[in-house]
Amino acid sequence: MRNLLVIYIICVFFSCKEEQKNTKLTGTAFGTSYSIIYDSDVNYETQFDSLFYVINKSMSTYQINSDISKLNRNESFEIDEHFIKVYDASKEVFGKTEGAFDPSIGNVVNAWKFGAENTIEVIDSLKIDSLMQYVGYDKTYRLNNTIIKSNPNVYIEFNAIAKGYGVDVVGEFLESQNINNYLVEIGGEIRVKGINFEKQSQWKVGLEEPNFDGGQSILKAIVLNDEAMATSGTYRKFKIDENGNRYAHIIDTETGYPSKTNLLSISVIAEDCMTADAYATAFKAMGIEKVKKFLELHPELKVFLIFENQDKEIQTLALNGFPE
């Protein structure tokens, strides 16, 4: 009888495990959509919304009372712990990429009005020069929880790294709740841990195929293992000059002018999503050859490039063991 009881308990235990479903939550955050899947029946939507609120309050340039908006208006220079983490990470990537990643380039990007009409307009060089004199992340430094700017006109934005950081914050929250099987995706930036418990399989994510017409299709699926991936594309926002050359929304941080590129998509896998997000942006500006040389010194980064060759044919290149 005792053996039968043990067998019954074991059967009940495993049947419960097999029937357990992932919690799947979707919504909007940081001006885009999110999808969060995790191995628990607890609904953390309220907690996620609170985290998004705090991060926006810290680093959203769209909120007039955020820390970063106050900093850019020179009304306050005090920042919170989230700002500190992103500021310091940005400073590190800025240095390693020799300025290819530069959070102070935002005003110049805005001046070129990418996302508006497709044709590239001629902008007065004096206007660009006037903005470029305040570009350079090294024109700022952090003293404890205060940011010092060398000039009050220096403008900072973290649009190319904050979304990835938000993914990490959600992932770290889930881990603090002892949830070790999850996928967090915000606007295409992804972090995973463990497995997809419901399917008892590894986490699989798709790489989008570049489509200039705005359509969406998957080029291929890959497996992620306790890591994060961010993708930066140049095929959605671009302008065309009078000779038919396409310029993506990449501004040369040295000249202030759009850079012509044959790179269409850059996906970076790293230990955390903030790092992947920043490097995906930096590599977009660096170009293929510089990226290849850079990665020789940084084996911790896995990269997948989609680009056009001289015949306008689509080609791909996997570097540092990016999963096939």
Bridge partners, residue 248, by sequence:
238
H/E stretch holding 193: strand 189-193
Sign of the Cα torsion 102, 103, 108, 114 reads: positive
* Res. 87 pLDDT band, cuts 50 70 90: very high
Please check the confidence at residue 1 and state whether its pLDDT lies above 50: no
Whether 21 and 12 have beta carbons less than 8 Å apart is answered as no
Q: Are 288 and 261 in contact (CB under 8 A)?
A: no
Q: Taking residues 145-154, what's their average pLDDT?
A: 96
Nearest to 58 by CA among 145, 120, 176, 119: 145
Q: Examine residue 83 and state whether it is found in any structural domain, yes or no.
A: yes
CATH at residue 216: 3.10.520.10
Rounded distance, CA 284 to CA 286, Å?
6
Q: Give the model confidence (pLDDT) of 64-82 as tens digits.
A: 999 999 999 999 999 999 9
Query: Where residue 148 falls among pLDDT bands split at 50, 70, 90?
Result: very high
Q: What is the extent of the structural domain holding 88?
A: 23-319
Alpha-helical (H) ranges within the chain are 2-19, 45-59, 67-72, 81-96, 106-111, 125-132, 162-176, 273-286, 288-296
Please write the tens of the pLDDT for every residue from 40-68. Answer: 999 999 999 999 999 999 999 999 999 99
Q: Is residue 3 part of a domain?
A: no
Q: 196 with 22: CB under 8 angstroms?
A: yes
Q: For the chain, give me the number of helices (H) and strands (E)? A: 9, 15
Q: Which two tokens stand for residue 159?
A: 């649009």
In a domain, 13, yes or no: no
323 phi and psi, to 5 degrees? -60, 135
List C-alpha distances in Å: 281 to 157, 197, 256, 322: 13, 32, 16, 17
205 pLDDT above the threshold of 60: yes
Specify the pLDDT at position 117.
47
Confidence grade of residue 238 (pLDDT, cut at 50, 70, 90): low
Q: What is the pLDDT of residue 215?
A: 65
Average pLDDT over residues 228-245: 70
Q: Looking at the domain assignment, is residue 124 inside a domain? A: yes
Would residue 287 count as lying in a domain? yes
Q: What is the mean pLDDT of residues 175-189?
A: 97
Residue 164 lies in a domain: yes
Q: What residue type is assigned to position 146 of the chain?
A: T
> How many domains does the structure of the chain reveal?
1
> Would you state the pLDDT for residue 80?
97
At residue 214, the pLDDT reads 61
- Position 4 scores a pLDDT of 34
| Average per-residue pLDDT for the chain | 87
| 282 pLDDT more than 80 | yes
Among 94, 112, 114, which Cα is nearest to 104's? 94
- C-alpha dihedral sign at 114, 117, 119, 120: negative
Element (H, E) at 305: strand 302-308
Residue 253 predicted with pLDDT over 90: no
> What's the whole-number mean pLDDT along residues 252-272?
88
